[in-house]
Structure 1
């Protein structure tokens, strides 16, 4: 057995034997994936950002240079290294260099600040940190100083696109320049190839309901999940994939970035997700495929200058990480003339997606079926018993593409996984006879109104049908008598005259039940978003609680 990193939950021996014997695990590392692509297509353009364009062969050479530089710096196998970079090609160098020397990457989105970084440093025991000196308006210098002050265990900060003086700092560019590409060093690099059973990657969860938890993934497990997802929505070596969401977020990283490398396609990294930059990039780079969250898709569709650009190269869009409402899906298909793939997933490993031949009803009404045919998905009742086909319950899963527990978090693991090792997603769902999954709500986000459980997701779906609604989020609102009531935050379309009565009348016209009528509506100019560009419902809950307190004081 592999000497697994302490604090990680190992796969059960019988599962390891099964996954290996049936070749569900192919025994590949992330470093192997880059080398394979570079062997097959050394001269093919592979990675593009605002500054550089690199072929697979050029990228491998730079990765090997940095890997040798990192070994000389003293980074050891299983050392945890935080990688906090924008959508730059330096992410490619840092991520794969660490994979090749057997270190473990801890992915941070570029918007994380002292609180999240200190928290993740403490949990993971990270001793190195790769971070830019500056990105756009953010100067990371004071952030570095604060984090180093709180975490003396960090040995080195590797700065990117800039240098800092001091014994704690090395520049990524300097490490690459100093690397001696001798055969001896290249042989030393080969010897550092990790066992595919070892932990390769730690991904924080979103953290919108508290401090992030850490999801450790082995090479075998994460490569398996990404491989089958890329096949399910037919990524190919002809695709030019645009990554506009943060590369440190699981959706962008796994489905977009790594899916492109597994299929030997081309990745265009865009570090500004504004509509103008996105449209310009699609037009200039002839983008064929986009991977992102529904909020970014919705923003693009509402862009008033969208018709000024040639977006005809776009063939498909994969959206997950939030609800893709029917109106938006239809607009993507009709206005952008491209295929839409509705998906669902998480850092822990759940991955489902609709297929290219699905009808509109399936695409709008479900999140598809599991991408990895060897992962087992079930729906269970509150007592842990599997329910009948088509009945609602909690979605749980287990398999070669799924994690086995949070890092250094035994208390969380007691409730997150059942005794058979199935991950409990916390999502309410139905699975039909063909394996297609319909999400019906989230257990933690269900509104408990006087004992009645009301799905905020279902109310959101109904409100989104209104032509003057741009975005909607439904949250539980504290109430002395009923416990909770439904409050809808609505971002109207430009020029809209929406009011409470208008929305309620519309819902009644849709035959909504009285339970699906929000008892309060807040109209706002723009929704708050997390760093991963998901709707930030925690901020909305805090807002309505503050409003209620103020109103009570004034009463």
Structure 2
């Protein structure tokens, strides 16, 4: 694959001069860990249905990474080739990410919720050479799905199945010990390290490219803002195929030379038990995780005494969640804002969490500039809502094969698609989204993709998908449709239709509303804000 990370070149000299781009790769941080803490736990991996965890020291993790890296080369994976893995939170996920870096390949984690509809596009668009899946996960047969996809994946060299029983099992293919030692250099600091697809408004996912310099510049700033040290025990429960999980729960602990405790399936009761047993001190995830743990403690599960710090991103956090977490869990919840394109670039510091996290989404970390502008690009004063623009060290390297969508101007400002205001202390508050997106439980819901599929149904004349408020998930999804003359359409038919087209189940709307017409301007432009007002009555916020 030929990558063209065009957005890094204009920043390169200045970012390195300021010391924001340190030219360090994850390979260097692993080397440091092996020198300093060879026998320290690097990864503790808990798996649903298994009483015992898999515990790997830095020395043991490094040995497995070396085997996987050599095996990938033996399969024919070369520098800048894409390795896709649809693996839940596990030691295998972290080892695969590290093995890719060790041989200069590009890691492409994909969410376990994705099915053929999304995966065929992603794997072909990125020309993936290897695809790793679990045999089964959450009752779904990934091996069967992946085998059925093989005829439509012409670039693929190898399918690998974690817990598989055949010749393409993870152990037989990637943990073999009869491959030659590595001879080529690993990933470079300005090479593309990570390809991560994000749900946009164009109807197809966009492939976000990050280098070690763009990603790690943010992680170093985040570590400083959150006052994290090598002594942290970090709970990795948020999906690692999101940038939150990959960056802050997989890579960040390695930068710290600390310990990651992984959960493959979220269960708040078990999470608290694991956190207490392992001495967890910190985690990052959406506010849903906080609410779930509060509910569990109020139901009688003991709180984890050392688990005092949590960072929330994905949607503004209601003040009641901040107060409840501190009262019930003894935990400070620090708000943050970011995107796959730039990481968590605004953060509320732990010392200000109780005061600011419920009313702001943090302030910029070092190396990042923000501004709020009107429709003409003029900077707005404090307190006024406008379009949020950012620029700086952790901005991504561009969209794969789509530089025309990169969204940066000649001065390097990136239009986030969010609307916000800045308060007198420099903290931002997200006030809405200009992009057509719903965020449910921290998961971006690709509205246009859902609408495009519904438009193809023979009974539907027009459709609009919007979010409505929900106390636990932040938002849920409602589909408003009008029908063709003489046609009918039900919620059950909608679900069956999505099933037939193998849409990711987590994208399904929770409600279907049949309307005589959809509100529009005299020129025919759909007025979604009116539908959002209607949909508000379906939701509830405690």
With the length of structure 1 as denominator, give the TM-score of the two structures.
0.77
- Asked which structure has the greater RCO (Cα within 8 Å, sep 6+), the reply is 2
Match of 1:444 in 2: 435
- Candidates 400, 405, 421, aligned match of 2:398: 405
Residue number in structure 1 paired with 2:488: none
Q: What is the aligned partner in structure 1 of residue 15 from structure 2?
A: 19
Out of 358, 363, 366, the position equivalent to 1:364 is 358
Query: In 2, distance between residues paired with 1:76 and 1:444?
Result: 37
C-alpha deviations, 1:57-78, integer Å up to 9, x for none? Answer: 2111111121112222221000
Secondary structure of the residue aligned to 2:398 is coil
Do residues 28 (structure 1) and 24 (structure 2) align? yes
Please list, as runs of the form range in 1=range in 2, the aligned pairs for 1:465-480 lying within 5 A after superposition. Answer: 470=472, 473=475
Which whole-Å CA distance do the structure 2 matches of 1:304 and 1:21 have between them?
Answer: 49
1:121 aligns with 2:123: yes
Instruction: Report the alpha carbon displacement of residue 470 of structure 1 after superposing the two structures with TM.
Output: 5.0
Distance in 2, matches of 1:286 and 1:38, equals 22
Is the Cα–Cα contact under 8 Å of residues 156 and 170 in structure 1 kept in the other structure? no
**2:174 paired with 1:175:** yes
Deviation (angstroms), 1:84:
1.4
Q: 1:43 aligns with which of 39, 42, 54?
A: 39
1:548 is the counterpart of 2:515: yes
For the structure 1 residues 446 and 328, does the alpha-carbon distance in structure 2 shift closer, same or farther, using more than 3 Å as the test?
same
Deviations 1:477-519 (A, max 9, x none): 8699xxxxxxxxxxxxxxxxxxxxxxxxxxxxxxxxxxxxxxx
Superposition deviation, residue 22 in structure 1: 2.2
Q: Which residue in the other structure is 1:497 paired with?
A: none
2:255 — aligned with what?
Answer: 262
Shift in CA distance, 198/446, structure 1 to aligned 2, threshold 3 Å: closer
Residues 217 and 245 (structure 1 numbering): CA distance in 2 closer, same or farther, change over 3 Å?
same
Within a 5 Å distance, the mapping from 1:226-265 to structure 2 comes to 226-265=219-258
Partner of 1:434: 425
1:320 matched residue in structure 2: 313
Cα shift at 1:432: 2.7
The CA deviation at 1:275 is 2.0
Q: 1:65 to 1:478 in 2, by over 3 A?
A: closer
| 2:192 is equivalent to residue 199 of structure 1 | yes
Aligned to 2:337, the other structure's residue is in SS state: strand
The whole-number CA distance in structure 1 between the counterparts of 2:336 and 2:149 is 36
Counterparts of 1:438 and 1:138, CA distance in 2 = 39
CA contact (8 A) 1:47 1:89 kept: yes
Q: C-alpha separation between the residues in 1 aligned to 2:355 and 2:371?
A: 23
> Using a 3 Å threshold, how does the CA distance of structure 1 residues 314 and 171 change in structure 2: closer, same or farther?
closer
User: Partners in 1 of 2:353 and 2:238 — Cα distance?
Assistant: 27
Q: Summarize deviations over 1:74-124 as a string: whole Å, max 9, x none.
A: 210000110211111111211101111000011101221111111101221
Alpha-carbon distance, 1:253 to partner:
1.5
Secondary structure (helix, strand or coil) at the match of 1:378 reads strand
Correspondence for 1:511: none
Gaps of 5+ in 2: 47-52, 439-465, 483-502, 519-542
Q: Does structure 2 conserve the Cα–Cα contact (< 8 Å) formed by 1:429 and 1:437? A: yes
Q: 1:309 to 1:476 in 2, by over 3 A?
A: closer
Measured against aligned partners, the alpha-carbon deviations of 1:396-454 in whole angstroms (never above 9, x if no partner) come to: 111121114211124433xx32333322111111123432111111113599xxxxxxx
Structure 2 distance, partners of 1:350, 1:52, is: 29
Among residues 337, 340, 345, which one is paired with 1:347 in the alignment?
Answer: 340
Change in Cα spacing, 1:246 to 1:389, as seen in structure 2 (3 Å) is same
Between the aligned partners of 2:126 and 2:238, the Cα distance in structure 1 is 24
3-state secondary structure, aligned to 2:175: helix
Q: Which residue of 2 aligns with 1:517?
A: none
Choose the corresponding residue for 2:287, options 277, 288, 294: 294
Partners of 1:31 and 1:446 in 2: CA distance: 36
Q: Matches of 1:9 and 1:269 in 2, distance apart?
A: 32
Distance in 2 between the 1:90 and 1:173 partners?
A: 14
Deviation of the 1:7 alpha carbon: 4.9
- 2:121 match: secondary structure: helix
CA–CA separation in structure 2 for the residues paired with 1:370 and 1:235: 17
2:410 aligns with one of 394, 397, 419: 419
CA separation of 1:445/1:175 partners in 2, compared to 1, >3 Å: closer, same or farther?
closer
What per-residue deviation string (whole Å, max 9, x for no partner) do you get for residues 215-260 of structure 1?
Answer: 0011111111122112211221111111112111111121222221
Q: Aligned-pair distance for 1:141?
A: 2.0
Runs of 5+ in structure 1 lacking a partner? 448-455, 481-529
Number of aligned pairs? 465
**Which shows bigger deviation, 15-24 or 98-107?**
15-24
